[in-house]
Structure 1
């Protein structure tokens, strides 16, 4: 099978932004425990070892993975589950904005009624739900 490039011609398919990071994270979530970069590379057939190390290092800088020293290398694990990683991305977007109030207000006003009730319940765990 021949993949298409971004311009539609034959050749390797160009990966989307963040696609490799997502693949590495998904692979780590399937791991039996802490694993080496070599193990990750074996699971992701076709990636160079240096590419895997670069991706793992970037994910570590983003606090998406943890590493512990094992001899001269590291053992890698995901830092959080899928929900935790999504929350981390949301916090990063918010922290990168000077107009935090406007961003949060826009986010909250766009919530569905069910999500708004859930958010209220999470923010005020001791209070009875609306309408009770």
Structure 2
């Protein structure tokens, strides 16, 4: 009989990445479990998930010896999100439609942020000349 799933798909990976990103130093599997919110996964499940994240390029191992193995996230949350958005866009069969759908779902504040990022600002007039 299959075990009952207690987390949504991808939730364990997101929780592990959040822990790693919240720490300046790489963490061991045991250190990750110590600060894990809510129901803690089994240690072997945590290590398997860390290895999957490593294969995806989201986590890197630090240290050579198994007993001293530590992990750190390879990207910040904004970097990870940006990459995920670009990956989905690249996979789209209609890039233009995907961009329009995305832009159409943004709130006015998000639109303003994008507008500010995309439209170059005019240089300020030289006050000394």
What TM-score does the superposition give when structure 1 sets the normalisation length?
Answer: 0.69
Q: For residues 109 and 12 of structure 1, do their structure 2 counterparts lie closer, same or farther at Cα, with a shift above 3 Å needed?
A: closer
Q: State the secondary structure of the residue aligned to 1:115.
A: helix
Check whether the contact 1:121–1:127 (CA below 8 A) recurs between aligned residues. Answer: no
Q: Which runs of 5+ in 1 are unaligned?
A: 1-10
Q: Which has the higher contact order (CA 8 A, sep 6+)?
A: 2
Q: Secondary structure at the match of 1:15?
A: coil
Q: Quick check: 1:22 aligned with 2:17? A: no
Residue of structure 1 equivalent to 2:48:
54
- Of 86, 89, 92 in structure 2, the residue corresponding to residue 97 of structure 1 is 92
Q: 1:102: Cα distance to partner?
A: 1.3
Give per-residue Cα distances to partners, 1:2-60, cap 9 Å, x unaligned. Answer: xxxxxxxxx96621111111221122133351112232234337422221122112222
Root mean square deviation of aligned Cα: 2.7
* 1-structure distance, mates of 2:105, 2:22: 34
Alignment of 1:99-114 (within 5 A): 99-114=94-109
Return the alpha-carbon distance in structure 2 between the equivalents of residues 74 and 96 of structure 1.
34
Unaligned runs of 5+ in 2: 124-129
Deviations 1:45-83 (A, max 9, x none): 742222112211222233322333332463211223332
- For normalisation by structure 2, the TM-score amounts to 0.70
